[in-house]
Chain A
Amino acid sequence: MSGRGGHIEIKNVSKIFARPDLNSTLVALEGVDMEVRPSEFISIVGTSGCGKSTLLRIIAGLEAATFGGVFCDGEPILRANPKRGLVFQENSLFPWLTVRGNIAFGLHATGKYRENAGLADRLISLVGLSEFANSYPHQLSGGMRQRVSLIRALAVSPDVLLLDEPLGALDSFTRMNIQDELLKLWRENGNTMILITHDVDEAIYLSGRIYIMSPRPGRISGEITLPMSYPRNRSSSDFVEVRNRILKKLNFAREEREDYNL
């Protein structure tokens, strides 16, 4: 690991959305505290609607926190920056660009294209898509598209890679394959990784630490550190035990929410 990952600090962040149509507001995040150290791989799990995407978008700089502070390497995050790459769930490729064009976009935008001649093609062959370098996104399968999204974000060598359920729409075979590729890329590059997933196994397989979020309002309700070494065995007793612990916590979070509703 080259250890050039970014350091993310989230201090007491709340996000309140305006709901002009309902003439009301919605508390999406409340008092979120989180720290991700350089080159760490962490996951965030939680039921849908608990504010995971919102949190990630705030870290990316696409959304501003209503209260609290968000910092990258000690500096407040004010806007999007290629230092923090973002991979969306699906269909975020530019449909008018080929695979190579999509990957080169960030290199051109950051002025790194010249000095990185051939990087796009190297990344493409790294994920086994050389034959499709000149294909347009609609000609690819869902798994191929997500691979391209991934290396498009990696091409500009971000310090932090933010992944918003990047494999959520894929079948389980493809998902496991890309999980291995993800691990490999992370171990080679040492970026800080923040992965959102609703797949508990995926979180355990990949990350060193897992944050559990609970909904309404979205907040951190648990944190689990995983000391197991890579590669991890999905059927080992450690793995199964951690899975049960997390599922219990998630369930607890849900019951708590039901209590609120009463």
Chain B
Amino acid sequence: MNEKTASATSGAMHLMSEANVQSRAPTLWELRQIEAAPKSKSRLAADRAVAALPLVMGVLVIAQYKKAPNAGNAVATDTYAYFIALLASAVLAMLVASFFSKKAYARLLEKAPLYTAGFLLFALYDYATLKTGILPLPYFPWPDRILNGIYEDRALLLDCIKNSLILLFSGYFAGVAAGLATGLSSGLSARVRYWVMPLIQILGPIPSTTWLPIILIVASSLFGGSVFLIALGVWYPVTMSSMTGVLNIPKVNFEVARTLGASRARMLFKVALPAAMPNIFQGLTQGMSVACTALMVAEMMGVESGLGWYINWQRGWAEFAKMYGAVIVICITFTVVNFALKLIKRRVLRWQEERAD
């Protein structure tokens, strides 16, 4: 018996060492370093220069803004200068970090041309508007005006962001819940699928915003109507993706669960749901973009709050700077929301084999 135990553990040892070799293997980053051809001295110096380029460009943008004369009697504040200075100091921080970490340096090198181009774009736009007036007011306010517009309305904008997010997530979560319910149940049951499929085929192709005029009349509250509108838009992709997800689950997963004594509820929540997650997240991502569109349409057409309403309202006053400002705020808000969704996805799907994105 002791002999047996010994040979069994030695078998395990054999396998463990095999895996240890794997975990000690170079990371992707290290492998790139090993594989990279050695660079010449002049090339290394050129790299250093490229890394410093964004900072130089940022300083130039500020210098142009402060020193070059403005067209006509245009007035400009320091807000824009501070803003560029903020971006430039971020670049500076990266530059400093690059002296201490090879990884940070590589990252800066990779992004440097992009950042430089970004600053250049600012310089060109500033030149074309504030400095020369080639692009005329009121359609082309210079960045300083836009930034001041955002700053002036900051309280209102924050309130709008809050209202937009409340509406967005109310609709989104309602749609996700409904979509998961129909999608999972029709994935699991042929009878449910029989009744749900025609509904999906009829409702699916209709953009959810089509219903807006009807909802505006029928809904007892605009908020409720808009939640419904957004939820409807989210429901479709989430239903489709979760149904496909469940239908594609290898049968063996359910069979194993059955032989281990899983109840129907456990089969649904602990097998079907997690197994379908990769697909479901496709629907969640797609649903989020539909929800953002529906949110904007709803706010521009009816709901009297939120960023969509704000931009429309400023149009009434011909406040172009503030309209552009709203566009920027909307962009940032949605970027943050989508980034958060991506983080959640990465966390939930961490069991998947890493794929090169």
Contacts and interface: CB of A to CB of B under 8 A. Distances in A.
Interface string A121-158: 00000011101100010111101100100001100100
A10 interface: no
Contacts of B350: 136
A94 B11 contact: no
Interface in A68-117: 79-82, 84-86, 88, 91-92, 94-98, 105-106, 108-110
A177 interface: yes
A95 B351 CA distance: 7
A140 B19 contact: yes
Given A156-B260, A180-B7, A131 B16 contact: yes
Nearest to A182: B8
Contacts of B30: none
B351 A136 contact: yes
B262 A109 contact: yes
Interface in B1-43: 1, 3-5, 7-16, 18-19
Nearest to B267: A109
B357 interface: no
A196 interface: no
A174 B15 contact: yes
Contact of A109 (B4, B8, B14, B257): B257
A110 B261 contact: yes
29 contacts: A61-B258, A86-B255, A86-B256, A92-B256, A94-B274, A95-B275, A96-B277, A97-B274, A105-B270, A109-B260, A128-B9, A128-B12, A128-B15, A128-B16, A132-B16, A141-B18, A143-B11, A144-B19, A147-B12, A156-B261, A174-B15, A176-B11, A180-B8, A180-B11, A181-B8, A184-B4, A184-B8, A231-B3, A231-B4
A198 to B, nearest CB: 20
Interface string B240-276: 0000000000001101111111110010001100110
A143 B8 contact: no
B351 A81 contact: no
Given A109-B266, A177-B11, A62 B261 contact: no
B256 to A, nearest CB: 5
Contacts of A106: 260-261
Interface residues of A, number: 50
Given A61-B258, A138-B353, A184-B5, 15 more contacts: A94-B274, A95-B351, A96-B275, A105-B270, A108-B266, A109-B261, A110-B261, A129-B12, A131-B19, A156-B260, A156-B261, A177-B11, A177-B14, A180-B4, A187-B1
A54 to B, nearest CB: 13
B8 A177 contact: yes
Contact of B257 (A105, A131, A183): A105
A178 interface: yes
A128 B258 contact: no
Given A138-B353, A180-B11, A94 B262 contact: no
A82 B261 contact: yes
A152 B262 CA distance: 13
A110 B260 contact: yes
A60 B351 contact: no
B14 A173 contact: yes
B256 A109 contact: no
A144 B255 CA distance: 21
Please provide the 5 A-B residue pairs with the shortest distance between their CB atoms, ordered closest to farther. A128-B12, A177-B11, A82-B261, A106-B260, A80-B258
A50 to B, nearest CB: 21
Nearest to A132: B19
B31 to A, nearest CB: 18
Contacts of A128: 8-9, 11-13, 15-16
A177 B7 contact: yes
Contacts of A108: 266, 270
Nearest to B354: A138
Contacts of A109: 257, 260-263, 266
A37 B175 CA distance: 55
A13 B256 CA distance: 24
B8 A82 contact: no
A141 B11 contact: no
Nearest to A187: B1
A81 B15 CA distance: 32
A107 to B, nearest CB: 9
A173 B14 CA distance: 10
Nearest to B258: A80
Contacts of B274: 94, 96-97
Interface centre among B1, B252, B271 (most CB of A within 10 A): B252
